[in-house]
Amino acid sequence: MAYKIKINGVVHTMIESNGEVRYEPPLPESEIVKGRKNMREVLASKKFPGVSTENTFFSGRGTLENQFKDDPEFLQEIIEGAKADGYTPNPNDVYLSQLARKPGDKRAFVSQADGVSKIRKVCEENRLQCDEVGTQKYEVAPKAPVRLAEDLVQAEVAKYKSSPEFSRMGDQELREFVVDQHGARS
C-alpha cells in the first residue's frame, strides 16, 4: 500500500510492504524520528497541536477599542503615551502590554501588516523568551548573594544568646551560625 505525504515541502511516497516502510524519495532518519516523537506526543496528550500562522495569532485579539472596551481611560493613556513616543496608533493595531516598557510604548503596538516578525524582533531586542513567536530562551545570570546586614546579624545574635541552648556558644561561633541560618556569606 502507498500513501503520498508532504514533509517540509517535499512530496514523499510512503510504501508499506511486508511490515516495512520506505519512502520515495528517501526520507532522512532524523525526520522519521522527529515524526514518531511528535505522534507519540499527540497520542499521549490526546490533542493535536494548533496551526500557528499570523492569522491565528491575531484572530480574537480585536482592535484597540475592543481590547480596552472596559477601560477607555487606559486606552486614552496608552494612545497619548504612544503619541508622545512619536507613534500614532492605528485603530486596527493590537496592543501587547508584555512588550511595553511603559504605558503607550510604541513597540507594543502591532498591526497585522507588521506581523509576528515585529513581535519576534522586539522580544529579541529585550531578550524575552516567547515560544509562540519562536524566540530563544536566554540564560539569566544568577543574582549575586546579598550579605546580611550587620545590624540584623547583631539583633539575631542577641536573640539566640538569650536562649539556653545557644548561650554556651562563643560570639564568633554564634555570629557564623546566624549568618548560615539567616543570610548568605559574601
Please tell me the distance from the alpha carbon of residue 110 to that of residue 100, in angstroms, as a whole number. 11
Report which DSSP code applies to 101: S
- Give the model's pLDDT for residue 186: 52
Across residues 6-14, what is the average pLDDT? 82
> Is pLDDT above 60 for 98?
yes
Strand partners of residue 12:
5
- Give the model's pLDDT for residue 82: 94
Please tell me the distance from the alpha carbon of residue 177 to that of residue 153, in angstroms, as a whole number. 10
Helix, strand, coil shares, percent, the chain, to 5: 45, 15, 45
Question: Which amino acid type is present at position 136?
Answer: Q
Report which DSSP code applies to 25: S
Q: How does pLDDT run across 164-182, given as a tens digit for each residue?
A: 888 888 889 988 888 888 8
- Domain boundaries defined on the chain: 2-45, 57-125, 150-182
Radius of gyration of the chain (CA): 29
Q: H or E element: which one contains 80?
A: helix 72-84
Grid cell digits, residue 184 = 548568605
- Give the model's pLDDT for residue 34: 87
Please tell me the distance from the alpha carbon of residue 131 to that of residue 61, in angstroms, as a whole number. 18
